[in-house]
Amino acid sequence: MSRNASIDRKTAETDIQLELELDGSGQSSIQTGVGFFDHMLTLLSRHSLFDLNVTANGDTNVDDHHTVEDVGICFGQALEQALGDKQGISRYGSLTLPMEETLVTSAVDLSGRIAFVYRVDYPTEKIGQFDTQLVDVFWQAVAANAKLNLHILLVHGDNSHHIAEGVFKSTARALRQAVTIDARESGIPSSKGTL
């Protein structure tokens, strides 16, 4: 069973092509025009072991918000599409990840219901030219469009770059657990019989 998806999204603000393979090896080709975001998406691919290709052309002359949010929308849609009926998946994933002085916990439930809790504060508003608020924007768009529960909590951290990196790595690892096929799970992992 192939678990992949391709999403094309074109608006007045962005033009995005995204390809996702859940059962990959963490290979990626990322070109969004936003350097720090490219770095974070590369980490997302590597630590989830999802193969991820993203090409995005957005109105970065305005700012990076539309590009980051719309890639999040596309990634969420691709994740939902690639999961199909969710037969046999583990469903839940969580990880507490250390990133030097930073500690981040991410927890995921591929429930088909949207909930997003983000308790992360950054000591600076920018990481280079990248607005730290956009990390929240990206993951909120993912949660809404993949129809999942996502909780991201910063335990402690002093460096904005490390905090953002911890968020992406811990969430990638939680997603990796949640999408994994469980050999002991014969059907849909819910007493309702559907997700």
pLDDT at 191: 67
Beta-bridge mates of residue 30 = 54
Structural domains counted in the chain? 1
191 part of a folded domain: no
**Taking the alpha carbons of 7, 8, 11, 15 in that order, is the dihedral positive or negative?**
positive
How far is Cα 52 from Cα 25, in angstroms, rounded to an integer? 10
What tens digit of pLDDT does each residue of 29-55 get? 999 999 999 999 999 999 999 999 999
194 part of a folded domain: no
Residue 86, number of CB atoms within 10 A of its CB: 21
pLDDT at 186: 77
- Looking up residue 16, the CATH number of its domain turns out to be 3.30.230.40
pLDDT at 189: 73
Computed over every residue of the chain, the mean pLDDT equals 96
Instruction: Scan for tokens 């630590």, then name that residue.
Output: 47
102 part of a folded domain: yes
Instruction: Scan for tokens 């539309």, then name that residue.
Output: 66
195 part of a folded domain: no
pLDDT surpassing 80 at residue 97:
yes
- Residue 42 CA, distance from chain mean position: 11
* Contact by Cβ (8 Å): 89, 180: yes
pLDDT, mean of residues 76-97: 96
Alpha carbon distances (Å) from 24 to 41, 50, 72, 179, 195: 15, 5, 19, 12, 23
193 part of a folded domain: no
What tens digit of pLDDT does each residue of 15-26 get? 999 999 999 999
What tens digit of pLDDT does each residue of 117-156 get? 999 999 999 999 999 999 999 999 999 999 999 999 999 9
Residue 115 lies in domain: 4-179
44 part of a folded domain: yes
